[in-house]
Homo-oligomer: A and B are copies of this chain.
Amino acid sequence: MLMFFQYNWQVRNEWFEWCKELSANELKEKRIGGVENILNTLLHIVDVETSWIRAIQNKRDYVINFDEYTTLEKVKDLSDLNRREIEEYLLTWSAEIENEITVVPWSGDQFTKGEIVRHVIAHEIHHIGQLSVWARELDRTPVSASLIDRGLLRK
C-alpha cells in the first residue's frame, strides 16, 4: 500500500516544483472542473489525505481554512508536515488492518480501513489527472504520471 503513497508524494512534489514556474495569478486562476484552481487542488489533496488517515487512527479532524493557504510555500509546508505523520502510520500498515472499521467523525459513516486508504490513493491520482489537462491548457508540459520506473520500493 505504501508504494502508492510514495508514488503520490513523489508526483505531488514534482507538481510543487512545476508550480514554481507559474505566477500567483496562474496558480489561483479559476479553471473548469475539479477544485477549480491549481493551488487549491494541491491543498485539497493534502486536506483529504490528512483527514482520512487521521480518521483511521481515531484522531480528531483538522479543518483546514483554505483562506490561510494562499501561497505555494504554505501548501507545500503543510504537505511536508502532514506527510511525516501519515508515513509513520502507514509504515505500521498490514493486511490484518484492512477489514477493521473506522467511524468517520465528519459524517458518522463506517468504512473499512482498506477501503479508506484506497479512496485516498485514488483521490489524489484523479485530481493530478485534472492538473495535467490544465497544464496543457497553459501550454506547459505536465509532470509525468507514470508510476513505473520511479524507483519505488514495494512495502
Contacts and interface: CB of A to CB of B under 8 A. Distances in A.
13 contacts: A3-B115, A34-B129, A109-B149, A114-B154, A115-B154, A118-B147, A119-B148, A122-B147, A125-B125, A125-B126, A129-B133, A130-B130, A133-B133
Contact of A34 (B4, B114, B132, B148): B132
Contacts of A4: 118, 122
Contact of A136 (B33, B127, B145): B33
A147 to B, nearest CB: 4
A111 B132 CA distance: 25
Contacts of A145: 122-123, 126
Chain A interface helix/strand/loop/mixed: helix
B130 A7 contact: no
Contacts of A126: 125-126, 128-129, 132, 145
Given A3-B118, A33-B142, A115-B154, 17 more contacts: A33-B132, A33-B136, A34-B133, A34-B136, A98-B154, A109-B149, A111-B149, A112-B154, A114-B154, A115-B147, A119-B147, A123-B145, A125-B129, A126-B132, A127-B129, A129-B129, A130-B132
